[in-house]
Amino acid sequence: MNYTYTFCFALGGLWLGQLPGAVVGGFIGFMIDKLSVKRHQRYTDVDGFIEPLFALMGAVAKSDGRVSEAEIAATERMMARMNLGAVLRQRAVASFNRGKQPEFDINPVIHALHQWVGMYRARALPVLDMVLEGVLAGGNPSSRKMTILRQLAQTLRVSDMELMAMMAMKGYVWQADERGRGSAYASGGGHYVPPTCDSQEHDPYAVLGIAVDVDDRAVKRAYRKLISRHHPDRLGNLPAEMRQRAEVRAREINAAYDRIKAQRGFK
């Protein structure tokens, strides 16, 4: 435990009120140090999101009626990348199976993920990316899978445009129809077009979540906003898997921005 606040408040109390002031100040500082430790543990403890994450992934996989082999394989790969020990892996598997049950309620686990993320919005994106991997594991996602994904995004305060940008990084591009023009998720307003076999590069404008005809200032503003939220340094001490996802996202965003700059000729 770090006693920085304890020392500083005790020193300040000593200066203001001699020994009694030092005692009171030290106690106040100690309580602040104690709360800081609890807050740090809350946001770095991998246990805090394992069960809700894999329960939600189980619900996503089962949402269209059948859990495919591809979805099971994707979940197993994620467990392997997260380097879960025997106990945590057992809990993850049990949570995934629980999420597959017909009457499973996704609201408590989405709320649990929201509580784990807390006020650190940058940490919401790797969590959402993990669930997105499950959503896309079986190919072009069903409307039910996308509904669950959007509910999670809204709860974690990730906008539709940011979610569209994340989908674009996977090669999926939103195609709006007449009713959906101007609104990405208007009822019946469009659909995602899956990546084709000959897709070589992602649309850089879709990756930044902007239209092709925006001005240079809007491009720069969108880039700064995205890179600040996806930058690994804003995640703190979190599991390596989440940090790696943030690093991949940051590279995608930088690459998209570089392509747009080269096309437009600005620095």
What are the pLDDT digits (tens) for 138-186? 888 888 999 999 999 999 988 887 888 888 888 787 776 655 444 444 4
Element (DSSP H or E) covering residue 191: strand 190-193
126 alpha-carbon distance from chain centroid? 3
Taking a C-beta distance cutoff of 8 angstroms, is the pair 130, 156 a contact?
no
Between residues 115 and 2, the one the model is more confident about: 115
Q: Token match 């500082």: residue?
A: 29
Token duo for residue 246: 């943030």
Cβ contact 222:204 at 8 Å: no
And the tokens for 198?
């000959």
- Percent of the chain scoring above 90 in pLDDT: 24
Give 105's pLDDT tier (boundaries 50, 70, 90).
Answer: very high
Is the pTM here over 0.75, yes or no?
A: no
Rounded distance between C-alpha atoms, residue 181 and residue 211, angstroms = 12
CA distance 211 to 157: 22
Chain centroid to CA 185: 20
SS3 176: strand
